[in-house]
Structure 1
């Protein structure tokens, strides 16, 4: 009779040049530890050391930050990786016994302990399109900052060449016209004009790169079948950033959790009979900035967002308060659209079977970490009750699921329930 192989958790504390790991069992007993470099030799040595435990789960802290390179390398090699947020790991360190000093080995132990005690950690998956979206979005943001700096330097030079003729929103065409109208004769003026010409050439080059990056982002967003750009104020850049940062939308239980993650949900600051809320500075600030861009775009155009903003202003709210209310509504709209896109993708992939889904595992020992990429209709919250119609996991108790079908209503995919008189009795 073969002995059952115990599943182990490998807690990882990643850094740029080194990685510290700790291997623990299901009862949090330490089975091994080590420190390795992040180069090829160190990574190969770490993989060779981990082969002692065939059934292993890698728990990486901060897989969207410092741990992203290591997590991506592990996923490309077919390893099973889960993401451990920094806050639960910090709580484990705080309430752990001992000296409570923060070291790499202590951090790895805390990450492994969180992975053992938590069964709802996000399972990572290798998605080349999302990785490309993230890199292109970061690249475009860097180019945008570079363009702003170039325009500032160019405007400073033009203000000295042509006093009193500075443009607030300078374009390349206006800059070329202004440079063509000036012919300085002294050496300082000629040097200033030459530097301005070089800055203008750099501005033209940066704008061409920004345009190319935007086109690439739009093509990838459309290729993924996302309909985020159907929302007012959401362009290719905003849609790409949302898809890259959100990843799997089913990791958010409802729209309130999503709004808390985006920083658009106000914090309760009530005291006694006084009911008030204050601005939240928490959450993903990049996502909050993208939603702010969408809100300002809706206010400038004739949209429902502008009508909602004016209605809030008429109720006595200040401009910033009204914008925050609009940002919350946009956050809810983005969450609904992401949910509909995921539902449509799940319906299209329903015939592939467990083996057709990415990162699907047939090993029952890994049932404590359900793969978030294997989606069913029961995994999505009901838009009417905001509750899930079925369990998310491998529970075996009988459940009552919603009956109906996904149908197209214009450009949106909505859920159409069956007529009650035509429903068949559910099995026990």
Structure 2
């Protein structure tokens, strides 16, 4: 630890910086003009966090603390600092050019975080705990999909090299019928056949178990996301997975999102200026949160395939000479603007609890309703259950039921 006479510095404004790790945090203190005061290392325990805060306060009045990794290794310190009434800002990792110039060590990174808080380059409020449960469920559900895909790929690879009799027997099957058939296997035959069939049966059962686990996790995730932000979940084309990802990217505290343009940049859908001399143009952003970008992309695809207004927009843009990629880019930017409104304001979702009882009371089937409005029965079912929002269709449906 280096020190510069802390006794006579109490009363001045100082800024802190934290480089966080799994077992330790390195804390640095700088003055209001960026001068280095001191740095020290502390364990990632409650006692360590208290000692780190006391170390910061001993050098003056703490104006702000820049923390690298507020949602990962720095979570514990961030909570402790905010509970103590201190201002914490989120600091990004130094870029490669900066690290090539100044090197890499815990004290260097901690001082860089402190200077980022001092200069205002780091100004984002850390994410609060309201999306912690959503993040956990989302990660668990995603991992079941990856594991299920890996198991299905293994089944395909085994069948490629399996004996001819096994390949011939299951060649005509694919997807769920294949998994169901393999899960019911009773391995028989010589040693090779028995081993191959046993492996296929084990993998098929794994696929079925993972599918059931994914459905269970998705149902819980859907309930949590809907309770957290019903307006976002009810938006057209927004499912449990995409809603969860957008909430994780934005964080639960609304004050993190200042403008819809900054949110679009965060999601990597804001056009980036690429002008030079007489050339005046923009290019596609390749930065931002790629998972959020992928979520907006999936919403755009859903709307392009089944939303009437979006399909009309795509037709107009295609007639104007835009390519499909350009149209999708425009749609993602527009969807980001809409999502920002759901994330930053309370959007009231119209009550649809009366639709299903009214339909059932008049003994009208979903198929009959779907046929009348020219949509699939699943669309009407989703509107009745509140998992899909289409206010115009819901109102027309309610008026039709009243007149039926």
Match of 1:143 in 2: 144
Match of 1:360 in 2: none
**Which sections of structure 2, spanning at least 5 residues, go unmatched?**
1-8, 349-390, 393-404
* Aligned mates of 2:280, 2:211 — CA distance in 1: 48
The within-5 A match list for 1:91-130 is 100-118=102-120, 121-124=123-126, 126-127=128-129, 129-130=130-131
* Aligned mates of 1:125, 1:137 — CA distance in 2: 16
* Aligned mates of 1:90, 1:320 — CA distance in 2: 30
For normalisation by structure 1, the TM-score amounts to 0.68
2:179–2:208 Cα contact (<8 Å) kept = no
Residues 270-302 of structure 1, C-alpha deviations (whole Å, 9 max, x = no match): 445544433221111110011111122222324
Match of 1:155 in 2: 156
Deviation at 1:338, TM superposition (A): 1.8
Match of 2:310 in 1: 305
Q: Partner of 2:287: helix, strand, or coil?
A: coil
1:234 lines up with 2:238 in the alignment: yes
* Aligned mates of 2:172, 2:18 — CA distance in 1: 55
1:36–1:46 Cα contact (<8 Å) kept = yes
Q: Is the alpha carbon distance of 1:147 and 1:303 closer, same or farther for their aligned partners in structure 2, counting shifts above 3 Å? A: farther
Residues 131-179 of structure 1, C-alpha deviations (whole Å, 9 max, x = no match): 11112112222221111111111233345433472555x12x5421356
Q: Which of the pair is proportionally richer in helix?
A: 2
Match of 1:9 in 2: 15
Match of 1:331 in 2: 336
Q: Is the alpha carbon distance of 1:186 and 1:118 closer, same or farther for their aligned partners in structure 2, counting shifts above 3 Å? A: same
Instruction: Kindly tell me the number of residue pairs found equivalent between the two proteins.
Output: 335
* Aligned mates of 1:324, 1:112 — CA distance in 2: 37
**Which sections of structure 1, spanning at least 5 residues, go unmatched?**
345-409, 412-428
Work out which of the residue numbers 43, 55, 58 in structure 2 matches 1:49.
Answer: 55
Deviation at 1:55, TM superposition (A): 4.5
The within-5 A match list for 1:341-380 is 341=346
Work out which of the residue numbers 57, 67, 70 in structure 2 matches 1:60.
Answer: 67
Match of 1:26 in 2: 32
Match of 1:71 in 2: 78
Q: Is the alpha carbon distance of 1:197 and 1:78 closer, same or farther for their aligned partners in structure 2, counting shifts above 3 Å? A: farther
The within-5 A match list for 1:274-423 is 274-341=279-346
Q: Partner of 1:22: helix, strand, or coil?
A: strand
2:26–2:41 Cα contact (<8 Å) kept = yes
User: Cα RMSD over matched residues?
Assistant: 3.4
* Aligned mates of 1:136, 1:81 — CA distance in 2: 29
Q: Partner of 2:345: helix, strand, or coil?
A: helix
For normalisation by structure 2, the TM-score amounts to 0.71
Q: Is the alpha carbon distance of 1:152 and 1:207 closer, same or farther for their aligned partners in structure 2, counting shifts above 3 Å? A: same
Deviation at 1:330, TM superposition (A): 1.5
1:35 lines up with 2:29 in the alignment: no
* Aligned mates of 1:335, 1:155 — CA distance in 2: 42
Residues 186-232 of structure 1, C-alpha deviations (whole Å, 9 max, x = no match): 22122111111111221122112211221222222222243112222
2:89–2:122 Cα contact (<8 Å) kept = no
* Aligned mates of 1:152, 1:92 — CA distance in 2: 40
1:23–1:30 Cα contact (<8 Å) kept = yes
Match of 1:374 in 2: none
* Aligned mates of 2:216, 2:183 — CA distance in 1: 27
1:245 lines up with 2:252 in the alignment: no
Deviation at 1:72, TM superposition (A): 4.2
1:267 lines up with 2:306 in the alignment: no
* Aligned mates of 1:264, 1:217 — CA distance in 2: 26
